[in-house]
Amino acid sequence: MPESPIIKPSHTFILAGGGMAGLSLAYYLHSSKIDFESMLIIDQTIKNTRDKTWCYWSDQAETFDACVEHRWDQLWFHSFANQNDKFSIAPFSYRKIQSDTWYAFVQKELSSNPKVQFLQAKVLGFNYAGRYACVQTDAGKFTATSKIFDSISPYPCELANPKHLKQHFVGLTIETNFPIFEPDAAHLFDFRIAHTKACEFMYVLPTSTRVALFEHTYFSGELKEKEHYIAQIKSYLVGAYGLGEEDYLIVEEEAGIIPMTLSEEDPQNLQAKIIRIGTSGGFVKATTGYSFLRTQRKLIALVENLQTGRFGSVVNESKPFKKWMDRVFLRVLVDQKIKGSRVFESLFQKNKPQLILRFLEEQTTVWEDLKLMTSVPTIPFMQAAFKIALERLPFPKK
């Protein structure tokens, strides 16, 4: 992160956290017509590493397409029963961005703006001084005359709580000694490894005939030791590709724990002085763990609303019916009355992939949603919906 030499104590905007959401917002504010005096981006780390691989699907041009390293127009879906389908997803493409490329791209753009300053410091907390919000760091206190955007506060999802669903994974990028992969299609879900009731699958992104990223992924409440995911990947490489450890080099490693819970908090609006964004603001799609493209869409809308003075607008807009469907879906995955893989298998075997991709991005109509709902095993979904309704009834607490 390019650090500025003298940091003023007061700024129009302060971004606490300069990761994916913080830097994206900085980029949109910098590109907007909003006339701000200065913006301070605070992060405890220097953002220049390849710590994340971001993928998203879209059927149109997106802001950061210039950073896309690879695109796939086809996706594989492998069921537990070894049904292997390769789908064309046109007009969508599945796009991959490496975090180091993206950080460099955004920082280069921001460094051309003298109003933007970077500070490497640890944020210790937030408070108010009169009508202004302040951020306390280990490098001093800073005041925002307009807003603080917080992408560091933890989202309500307990790591040790098995009822709180998380997407958790370890990924290894390997380079083989000989060509073996087909880079024309990504493997979104390989459920052939799903031997437990937890929703687990292998996610494979081949970017050339010799390089691919393998992620052993769970949608479940219970985290595993790192060695577990790595052992699973290594045995998958033997089983699916006949690759022993002498056949490849591990060139990169990444890991993640992404919340898959829905917050019960009242939605934030733009009147607030401190606004949570990114994972912290609940921007992750709870049923998939994806948030890169959603974050872009939500932040573009947020900046548009700031620019046009619509301060009453909600930061993280989601339709109630979509939220209810997510809630039921998550409950089915938590309760494990049915294998998680079965739900995705039914969806992919009975519907066009384009419809599912639009559904997962909350772009489907109510009629399309109802059609999709009839394609999943109905009993566990009805049981989950019933339980949720029962829990929400206003029974007096003992």
Q: How far is the CB of 367 from ligand FAD (least distance, A)?
A: 27
In DSSP terms, 40 is beta-bridged to 14, 117
Query: Does residue 361 touch ligand FAD according to CB under 6 A?
Result: no
CB closer to ligand FAD, 263 vs 336: 263
3-state secondary structure 143-199: EEEEEEEECCCCCCCCCCCCCCCEEEEEEEEEEECCCCCCCCEEEEEEHHHCCCCCE
Query: Does residue 122 touch ligand FAD according to CB under 6 A?
Result: yes
Q: Which of 11, 14, 19, 298 is the binder for ligand FAD (CB under 6 A)?
A: 19
Q: How far is the CB of 188 from ligand FAD (least distance, A)?
A: 11
Query: Does residue 119 touch ligand FAD according to CB under 6 A?
Result: no
Question: How many C-beta atoms surround the C-beta of residue 353 within 10 A?
Answer: 20
Q: How far is the CB of 113 from ligand FAD (least distance, A)?
A: 20
Query: Does residue 201 touch ligand FAD according to CB under 6 A?
Result: no
Q: Which of 41, 123, 133, 328 is the binder for ligand FAD (CB under 6 A)?
A: 123
Site for ligand FAD in 263-282 (CB under 6 A): 278-280
CA nearest to 210, candidates 237, 179, 240: 179
Site for ligand FAD in 25-84 (CB under 6 A): 42-45, 47, 52-56
Residue partners of 333: CB distance under 8 A and separation at least 6: 165, 199, 219, 220, 260, 340, 343
CB closer to ligand FAD, 329 vs 381: 329
- Which residue's C-beta sits nearest to ligand FAD? 19
CB closer to ligand FAD, 87 vs 290: 290
SS3 (DSSP) at 337: coil
Is residue 162 within 8 Å of residue 253, measured between CB atoms? no
CB closer to ligand FAD, 25 vs 193: 25
Q: How far is the CB of 61 from ligand FAD (least distance, A)?
A: 17
What are the backbone dihedrals phi and psi of residue 181, each rounded to the nearest 5 degrees, phi first?
Answer: -90, 160
Query: Does residue 254 touch ligand FAD according to CB under 6 A?
Result: yes
- Give dist(CA 222, CA 334) in Å, integer: 10
Helix spans in 177-291 (H) = 226-241
Site for ligand FAD in 279-318 (CB under 6 A): 279-280, 290-292
Q: Which of 139, 146, 180, 256 is the binder for ligand FAD (CB under 6 A)?
A: 256
What are the backbone dihedrals phi and psi of residue 136, each rounded to the nearest 5 degrees, phi first?
Answer: -100, 125
- Give dist(CA 169, CA 147) in Å, integer: 34
